[in-house]
Amino acid sequence: MERRVRRFATASILFAACFLPSFNTIQAQRSKTLVEAVEVVGNRRLSAKDILAHIKTQPGEPFTFEQCNRDLEELLGLGVFNKLETRVVSEPGVRGGVVVIFEVVELPLLLEVKFSNLRGIDESKVLRVFREKDIHLVKDAVYDPVKVRAARRVLQELLASHGWPNAVVTIRSEIGGSYVSIQFEISYDE
């Protein structure tokens, strides 16, 4: 009796493996909507080819919102796109499928970082302290407003340690196209 049960179970498993469709096939049949095309719009510095290399959604494959959202998260994780403005949308395709469009907004690059009215500290020392604190404000780095604000705080602390505890650091940003210039303006309460 036990031998018959084992044979039946083995035969059932072999039958299922050979003749029943896989889970992916079933999902594809349920979701008959296929991706017709994947497009990237809004890119200026990065090529569409470079961006598409990070996207797993492909033409000819079944469309899923979940995969599109994973692709969007992958792009945002690169740190070169604006997280509030970059998005993914889908539109009906001409053949009954879906066209997936990644609308990207690239963060600008730093063109220059200047210090106005810096007293008693060399600019090179300030930049070295920034690097030590993992604040990389150098030409052609991706502009990160959070890092710029952190740099302001570090600069105020540095000025305080050099005898200027009441120094006020103001940030001036000038954005032009895909570049931004940053100026740290320092005023002293004397």
Q: Name residue 87's beta-bridge partners.
A: 103
Verdict on whether the full-model pTM lies above 0.85: no
Residue labelled with tokens 């008693």: 120
Query: Strands 98-103 and 35-41, how do they pair?
Result: parallel
| Domain 31-107 shares a fold with domain 109-187 | yes
**3-43, pLDDT tens digit by residue?**
554 444 444 443 444 444 433 333 434 457 999 999 999 99
Measure the CA–CA gap between 56 and 26, rounded to whole angstroms: 20
Q: Residue 9: which H helix or E strand, with range?
A: helix 2-19
Strand stretches in the chain, DSSP E: 35-41, 87-92, 98-103, 109-116, 168-176, 179-187
In this predicted model, what pLDDT tens digit does every residue of 58-85 receive, in sequence order? 999 999 999 999 999 999 999 999 999 9
Helix (H) or strand (E) holding 148: helix 145-161
Residue 68's alpha-carbon distances to 33, 89, 101, in angstroms, are: 14, 9, 10
Choose the CATH number for 31-107 among 3.10.20.310, 3.40.50.300, 3.10.350.10, 3.90.850.10. 3.10.20.310
- Start-to-end Cα distance in the chain: 99
Domain at 109-187: CATH architecture: Roll (3.10)
**pLDDT by residue (tens digit) across 96-118?**
999 999 999 999 999 999 999 99
Extents of the domains making up the chain: 1-30, 31-107, 109-187
Phi, psi of 74 (to 5 degrees): -60, -45
